[in-house]
Amino acid sequence: MPHFSRLVVLLVGPGLSLTFATTATAQTADLTPKYSNEFLNIGVGGRALGMGSVQVGIVGDATAGYWNPAGLLNQTHKYDAVLMHSELFSGIVKNDYAAFSMPLDDQSAIGASVIRSGVDDIADTRNLINEYGYIQYDRIRYFSVADYALLLSYARKIGAVEGLKAGVNGKIIYRNVGSFANAWGFGIDAGLQYDRGGWRLGLMARDITTTFNAWSINADEFQGSASANDPIPTNSTEITLPRFVLGVGRSFRLPGQLTALVATDLEMTTDGQRNTLVSTSAVSIDPKAGVELGFKDLVFLRGGISNFQEADATKSFNNKGGWRGQPTLGVGVALSGLRLDLALSRLAVEKLGDQTQTNSIIVSLGYGFK
């Protein structure tokens, strides 16, 4: 469906341009666009986001349904639940998440996760001018652009190898662009975790079978508005290619009832060359690193860095190029099964003109109980 996002921008005004940038371009002539279903790569959980989204090898609560379903077998309580809310781009994009997990028996566990990312109350001003040429504000319509995902997870220990666990996700995706278009999708993820001593290894394969989004277009909404350069879009299919994440972590006991956890992930995408530290036409690799310091398993301080990109000095506001990473910070408190985690994710590391970029604050609440 060529030029879909540009067409909708022409129809409903500048507000929708940012919306489509945050939810990824719906359709192009290429059925496997970069950043397909990108809302599923924002990340969940204040602990994870405070550590630079490093979780594949170390996750061990209900958020494992998102990061690596094999980690569901690591949770310390029988039942675990997590809620999260975050706002991106100065609050324009709302990102919400909820998850629950529990064991089936000594060898297996299940979980369910729900994700919503969207922009609400977008103004459709196509009918702002009435038939007499006057502005009539009550003719403005409002709509939302939102992406939803339901993840159903299952994990099981591999009895033949001590410390080895495997997990799988089945995910259902629904994407809605007001009354203009919607899509349904389905995909499968698979993950492994292996614990030995203080070492924790993980492998996550997202969209391992590729994920298909079938877009349905309401052509009537575009009648009379499309131009010759932007024809009315048609129904089509978008395919999300696999993404692999290899993770390793190591935990330490320090003096004074202190603990430390150091971890790193290597995220490998297969949808074409990206602006990452390792970038080829076949695969691009984005390294991430995170650390967590704990005191009495009660208070935690976290930090991380990810999303390394090379800036072009000629296109930078401060005329500086070179490699830059996205740092993150976080704190957490755990008490009687209740966990409160906050993360500060710095979305930009330079000024835009004379204005400083705002940071994104992520808050998540978890509760484990028997």
CB 19, CB 4: distance < 8 Å: no
**Beta partners for 174?**
148, 184
DSSP classification of residue 118: E
The pLDDT tens digits of the residues spanning 26-55 come to 333 456 767 889 999 999 999 999 999 999
Fold of the 4-369 domain = Porin (2.40.160)
**What pLDDT does residue 357 have?**
53
Separation CA 128–CA 135 (nearest Å): 6
Separation CA 332–CA 361 (nearest Å): 13
The pLDDT tens digits of the residues spanning 117-166 come to 999 999 988 888 888 889 989 889 899 999 999 999 999 999 888 999 99
For residue 17, pLDDT over 50 is answered with: no
**Beta partners for 262?**
250, 291
DSSP E strand boundaries for 197-257: 199-206, 211-217, 236-240, 243-254
The pLDDT tens digits of the residues spanning 214-248 come to 999 998 887 766 555 677 888 889 999 999 999 99
Out of 19-28, 166-175, 249-258, 329-338, pick the least confident.
Answer: 19-28
**pLDDT higher for 259 or 309?**
259
Cβ neighbours, 10 Å, residue 36: 25
Separation CA 266–CA 203 (nearest Å): 10
**What pLDDT does residue 346 have?**
59
The pLDDT tens digits of the residues spanning 73-126 come to 999 899 999 999 988 877 889 999 999 999 999 999 999 999 999 999 999 888
Separation CA 65–CA 353 (nearest Å): 40
Q: What does 217-230 look like in DSSP terms, one character per residue?
A: E-GGGGTTT--SSS
